[in-house]
Structures are given as structure tokens and as C-alpha cells.
């Protein structure tokens, strides 16, 4: 490489010679070979690595990991509780639904009972009223018949009287003299006939 050639020219050594001499960088600050293999730098890296590892380890072990473990455990607990609570609420909802259905069925059967009872009451009332009305009708018609019979009897009597009077008048007009008994008998026999 160009830079290495320059470095070698300045130091009077080839890059390979520089590397063998334990040099890690050339005169321009460029890497010679693999910096990973530079022994000069290893101690520094290992020291700081160990420092970093120890710091990270104690930060994790003392603070971070117990805290995260606690958070996760707490969350697990919360989730478990919530699921239990949800299960409980679900059971209560099922219970409430059952109660609702039962109330509905009860109300329905109550309503049916009330309807049937009301129907029976109305029927009974109706029957009673009908019976009463029938009785009244019967009474009224009996009375009417009686009145008709009376009127009929009265009418017959009147006809008899009229017939007698007429017969008497006719007999008198004929110049005869009729006694009451004969006329009655005659009218009665005629009326029958």
C-alpha cells in the first residue's frame, strides 16, 4: 500500500519488518497488519473489559434484574387476579341471566293465571246475569199470560152481556116479553155452539 511504502521508506524498514519489530502503527498512524494482533494494546483492552464487565454485572445483579423480575412477577399476579375477577363476574352474569329468565317465566305464568281467573269470574258473572234475566223473562211472560187470560175472560163476559142485552132488546122489539132466565140459557147455548 502507498502509505505503508512511505512509512517503510521513512523508517527504512518494510511493513513486514515493522510488524516483526512489534510496531502496530506506521508513521502516518495507519494500521500495520491486524490491529487485533497488536500485543501492546491487549493489556489495555483486557483491563477496561474487566472493568466494564464488573460494572455491568453488578448493575444487573443488584438493580436491574431483581427489578425486572419483580415487575414481571407483579404483572403475572395482576393478570391472574384480573382473570379470576373476570371469571367471577362471568359467573355472576350467568346467575343474573338465570334469575331474569326465572322472573320472566314466573311473570308469564302469573299472567296466565290472572287471565284464567278473570275469565272464570266473568263467566260466572255472565251466567248469573243470564240466569237472572231468564227468571225475569219467565216471570214477565207468566204475568203476561195471566193478564191475557184475564182479558180474554173479561171479553167473553162482555160478549155474553152484550148478547143478552141485544137478545132482550130484539125480543122486546118483536113485542115479546122475555124473562131473564130463558135469554141466559139461549145465549149460553149459542155461545157454546
Q: Given the rule CB under 8 A, which residues bind another protein? A: 1-3, 24-25, 29-31, 33-38, 40-53, 55-57, 59-61, 63-65, 67-72, 74-75, 78
The burial class, CB within 10 Å (0-12 / 13-18 / 19+), for 156 is: exposed
Using the minimum distance from each CB to another protein, give the nearer residue, 51 or 153. Answer: 51
Q: How far is the CB of 14 from another protein (least distance, A)?
A: 17
Contacts for 51 with CB less than 8 Å, ≥ 6 apart: none
Using the minimum distance from each CB to another protein, give the nearer residue, 70 or 142. Answer: 70
Q: How far is the CB of 67 from another protein (least distance, A)?
A: 5
Using the minimum distance from each CB to another protein, give the nearer residue, 9 or 155. Answer: 9
Q: How far is the CB of 13 from another protein (least distance, A)?
A: 19
Using the minimum distance from each CB to another protein, give the nearer residue, 70 or 135. Answer: 70
Q: How far is the CB of 16 from another protein (least distance, A)?
A: 15
Using the minimum distance from each CB to another protein, give the nearer residue, 51 or 156. Answer: 51
Q: Is the dihedral of CA 102, 106, 107, 111 positive or negative?
A: positive
Q: How far is the CB of 104 from another protein (least distance, A)?
A: 41
What distances in angstroms separate CA 124 from CA 112, 113, 116, 128, 134, one per listed residue? 18, 16, 12, 6, 15
What distances in angstroms separate CA 187 from CA 12, 42, 167, 170, one per listed residue? 193, 173, 8, 13
167-176 long-range Cβ contacts below 8 angstroms, 24+ apart: none
Amino acid at each position: 500500500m502507498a502509505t505503508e511504502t512511505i512509512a517503510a521508506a521513512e523508517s527504512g524498514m518494510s511493513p513486514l519488518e515493522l510488524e516483526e519489530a512489534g510496531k502496530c502503527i506506521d508513521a502516518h498512524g495507519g494500521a500495520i497488519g491486524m490491529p487485533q494482533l497488536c500485543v501492546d494494546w491487549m493489556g489495555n483492552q483486557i483491563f477496561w473489559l474487566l472493568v466494564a464487565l464488573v460494572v455491568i454485572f453488578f448493575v444487573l445483579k443488584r438493580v436491574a434484574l431483581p427489578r425486572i423480575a419483580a415487575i414481571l412477577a407483579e404483572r403475572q399476579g395482576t393478570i391472574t387476579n384480573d382473570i379470576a375477577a373476570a371469571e367471577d363476574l362471568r359467573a355472576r352474569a350467568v346467575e343474573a341471566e338465570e334469575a331474569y329468565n326465572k322472573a320472566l317465566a314466573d311473570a308469564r305464568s302469573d299472567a296466565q293465571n290472572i287471565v284464567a281467573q278473570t275469565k272464570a269470574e266473568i263467566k260466572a258473572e255472565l251466567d248469573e246475569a243470564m240466569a237472572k234475566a231468564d227468571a225475569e223473562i219467565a216471570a214477565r211472560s207468566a204475568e203476561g199470560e195471566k193478564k191475557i187470560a184475564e182479558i180474554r175472560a173479561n171479553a167473553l163476559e162482555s160478549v155474553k152481556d152484550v148478547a143478552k142485552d141485544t137478545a132482550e132488546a130484539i125480543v122486546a122489539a118483536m113485542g115479546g116479553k122475555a124473562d131473564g132466565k130463558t135469554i141466559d140459557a139461549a145465549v149460553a147455548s149459542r155461545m157454546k155452539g
